[in-house]
Amino acid sequence: MHISEGVLSAPVLGAGMALAFAGTAVGLKKLKEDKIPRTAVLSAAFFVASLIHVPIGPSSVHLILNGILGLMLGWIAFPAILIALLLQGVLFQFGGITTLGVNTVIMATPAVVCHYLFAGFVHKPKAISYAASFACGFLSVFFSSLVLGTALMFTQESFLAVAWAVVIAHLPVMFIEGLVAIFCVGFLKKVQPELLPKWSAARQQNTLAV
């Protein structure tokens, strides 16, 4: 998912930076004090997740975790991912400084989309909540692959071929991410449901129903 330096042309890099900047601005505005520790913990999780290689078949894949980040943080996923990617770039030479904007957009935009798609279902009964979590983890990687394909489209590689290849390559990760998301949501629901999004709204509904 990390695009290396020197692959993309300047306009694409510029557009990526502008979008990442806008997303981060929105995210920082929404970052209230009580959410700061949670953001930091998830940002750290994202930072480490891409080091976990899962050997599957002939290739080894790594976790991305942007679905969980988006589900729990919404727009704040932008600054969280930006910081984690910056540190990955500086410390591990994953991605790069010039491609920081593009890479942030690739991984944070699907996170925000998944938040709006699935956050409402988390506090529903078990089956629905688990299905939504799986879809969240699965689709966030899927959308990321599409955005990655779009970014590469402008450098002579045709969109369909690239996007298709990226999606195929990430299929195993999608399933793993879906399962990880189910595990996280299931655990948090039992232990600390107030950490999950839309908790107050769900609690009101429950008290009304009772």
Partner 1 sequence: MLFFILSGGNALAHRVTVFAWVEGNTVLGEGKFSGGKKAQNAEIIVRDVKGKELLRTRTNKKGEFSFPIPAKTGMRIELIAGMGHKAEWIIPLEDIYDTPTIKNTRDSGTPPPAPPENTAPGQAAHPSVSIDPAQLEAIVEKAVTKALNKKITPLTGMVADLTQKGPTIDKIFGGIGYIFGLMGVAIYFSSRKKK
Rounded Cα–Cα distance for residues 19 and 8 (Å): 16
Could you say which residues in the range 130-149 bind partner 1, by CB under 8 A? 148
- By CB under 8 A, residue 60 contacts partner 1: yes
Q: Which of 18, 22, 25, 51 binds partner 1 (CB under 8 A)?
A: 51
Termini Cα distance of the chain: 46
> Are 100 and 86 spatial neighbours (Cβ–Cβ below 8 Å)?
yes
Q: Point out which residues pair with 54 in neighbouring strands.
A: 61
> Tokens representing 101?
């904007």
Token pair for 4: 């290396």
> Is 18 a binder of partner 1 (CB under 8 A)?
no
Among 13, 20, 24, 47, binds partner 1 (CB under 8 A): 47
Tell me the window of 17-25, 86-94, 110-118, 201-209 that interacts with partner 1 (CB under 8 A): 86-94
For partner 1, the binding residue among 22, 25, 29, 92 (CB under 8 A) is 92
Question: Could you tell me where the DSSP H helices lie in 98-158?
Answer: 100-118, 126-153
Tokens encoding 195: 């950490």
Residue 44 C-alpha from the chain's centroid? 13
- For partner 1, give the closer residue by CB, 88 or 129: 88
Residues 151-210 that bind partner 1 (CB under 8 A): 151-152, 157-158, 161-162, 164-166, 168-170, 173
Per CB under 8 A, does 29 bind partner 1?
A: no
Q: Is 5 in the site for partner 1 (CB under 8 A)?
A: yes
Which position among 11, 58, 156, 209 is part of the footprint of partner 1 (CB under 8 A)?
A: 58
List, in sequence order, every residue forming a beta bridge with 166; answer none if it has no partner. Answer: none
Between CA 165 and CA 181 the distance in angstroms is 24
CB atoms within 10 A of CB 173: 23
| 25 forms part of the interface with partner 1 (CB under 8 A) | no
Count of residues of this chain found to bind partner 1 when the rule CB under 8 A is applied: 50
Q: Helix, strand, coil: what percent of the chain each, to 5?
A: 75, 5, 20
Interface residues with partner 1 (CB under 8 A) are: 1-8, 31, 33, 36-37, 39-40, 43-44, 47-48, 50-51, 53, 57-62, 83-84, 87-88, 91-95, 148, 151-152, 157-158, 161-162, 164-166, 168-170, 173
